[in-house]
């Protein structure tokens, strides 16, 4: 297994673990999310307001919350509409709210309008490592 494959696998595993934490029933106990670099953030409980840097991650949420996979998303980069045009009408028909989620159009270099993002008051931003600015 190459180094890039291990990194991708580790990233997918970390993402899956974070989403499993999100899928738990809403309780008052704190949860801690750890990113691939080992940094942690502790939230008072499962986040109710999530921002997605890559909207394709929402498909993972659909596996964990079939009734309302887009219910927690307050803003995203709607790559599903832009890149998966055949899937988009099906998603809108099944979950009409998906069309109302603001599309931030995050770019792959991490550029985003922070004022607009913060106006949506997300409790958690899920971003891919590729969105991290290169120094």
Structure confidence by residue, pLDDT tens digits, 8-18: 444 544 554 45
Our count of domains for the chain comes to 1
pLDDT in tens, 45-71: 888 898 888 888 888 877 878 888 899
pLDDT at residue 96, as a whole number: 92
pLDDT at residue 1, as a whole number: 46
Return the CATH number at 91.
Answer: 3.40.50.1980
Range of the domain at 120: 3-131
pLDDT at residue 21, as a whole number: 53
How many beta carbons lie within 10 A of that of residue 69, not counting itself?
Answer: 19
The pTM of this model reads 0.69
pLDDT at residue 33, as a whole number: 85
Task: List the one residue out of 87, 115, 89 whose CA is nearest residue 102.
Answer: 115
Residue 3 CA to residue 107 CA, distance in Å, equals: 25
Task: List the one residue out of 56, 23, 49 whose CA is nearest residue 128.
Answer: 56
């Amino acid at each position: 297994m190459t180094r890039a494959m291990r990194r991708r696998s580790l990233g997918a595993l970390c993402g899956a673990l974070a989403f499993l934490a999100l899928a738990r029933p809403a309780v008052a106990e704190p949860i801690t999310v750890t990113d691939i670099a080992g940094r942690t953030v502790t939230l008072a409980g499962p986040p109710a307001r999530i921002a997605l840097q890559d909207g394709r991650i929402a498909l993972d949420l659909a596996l964990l919350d079939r009734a309302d996979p887009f219910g927690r998303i307050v803003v995203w980069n709607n790559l599903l509409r832009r890149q998966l045009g055949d899937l988009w009408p099906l998603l809108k028909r099944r979950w009409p709210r998906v069309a109302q989620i603001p599309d931030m159009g995050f770019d792959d270099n991490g550029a985003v309008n922070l004022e607009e993002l913060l106006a949506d008051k997300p409790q958690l931003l899920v971003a891919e490592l590729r969105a991290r600015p290169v120094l």
